[in-house]
Structure formats: C-alpha cells, structure tokens
Amino acid sequence: MSSAAERGGAQAPFLHVLSDAVNLWSERFLFVLMLAMVGVTTAQVVFRFFFKALTWSEELSCFLLVLASLVGSAVAFKKGSHIAVTFAVERLPRPARKVLATLVYLLGLGFFSVVAYYGALLMKSEAGQTTPALQISMKWIYLMYPVTGAATALHLLDGMSRVWTGGEP
C-alpha cells in the first residue's frame, strides 16, 4: 500500500496523514522500547549473577513490556495485523462487508475511547503515588493508557474512513 500522501496523486485527507505519521513514530518508539527492554533485562541478569542485584530493573522492564504491548497493539491496528476470522466475511457482498467492517471499527473505537478516558482518570487519581523502586509518579506510568488509546482510536477512525472512501474492508 502506498503512503497516504501518494494516493492517486491527490492530497491525502488530514486524518490519513496524521494516522500514518503517528504510526511511523509509534514503530520507531516500539523499536526503542524493545531495545531498552532487552538492555534492562540483560543488565538485570548480569548484575544478579555477578554483582549486587539491581533493585529497579524488574520494575522498569515490566513497565517497558506493558508499554511495548500497548504501542505494538496500536501499530497492529494500523496495519490490520491482528488475528481475524475472515472466511465468512469474505463470502459476504461488498456492501455487507463495509457495514460489518464499520461495526467492528466502531466497537474498537468505543473500547479504546474507554481505555483512553479511564486511563486519564487513573492518571489523575494515582498522581500522588510513586513506583516502589523507581520512585516516579504513577501518573507517568498511567500516561501510556490515554496516549495509546488515543493513537489506536485515531487508527480505527482512519481505517473506517478508508473503508468508505474506496479502501478494502
């Protein structure tokens, strides 16, 4: 698939361009997160075996794993890489596939809007607490939920608009 800016020689809609840009940065961030997770976990093993154990490494690697999972989920939604059962859907006529795809996008949009909303509430309510080992505010940890929820919702909106503007459902 070509980038949104190259589609048909015309200017791509802002939603497509924004979704593509957010996805590009998400993929780059995901790469950095995976490198950080491997580095922290390796340091944890080395220090535990040869030196005094790092008190913060397990907590950090756990937070990195959750964040990488959420960012990876947003990237997968953008690329349509999540597992799906399509044998029945492929037998439907094109208009029915569009309606079904729209329903799926709306359900996902509803779910990730709830994730973003309640993640923001959680950030606010837990801002006074700190992590046990790293001693950073939990609001920075819980920030991952509204940000990744909003990014995924953006990708779902983009996918839904593509279904109705000529994209394949």
Tens digit of pLDDT for each residue in 58-116?
A: 999 999 999 999 999 999 999 988 777 777 878 888 888 888 889 999 999 999 999 99
pLDDT at 85: 74
Read off the pLDDT of each residue in 150-160 and give the average, rounded to a whole number: 94
Q: Would you list the domain boundaries of the chain?
A: 7-164
- pLDDT bracket for residue 56 (50, 70, 90): very high
Give the whole-angstrom CA distance, residue 148 versus residue 60.
Answer: 18
- Is the confidence at residue 9, as pLDDT, over 70? no
Percent residues over pLDDT 90 in the chain: 66
- Is the confidence at residue 2, as pLDDT, over 70? no
pLDDT at 7: 47
pLDDT at 84: 76
List Cβ neighbours of 17 (8 Å cut-off, separation of 6 or more). Answer: 4, 5
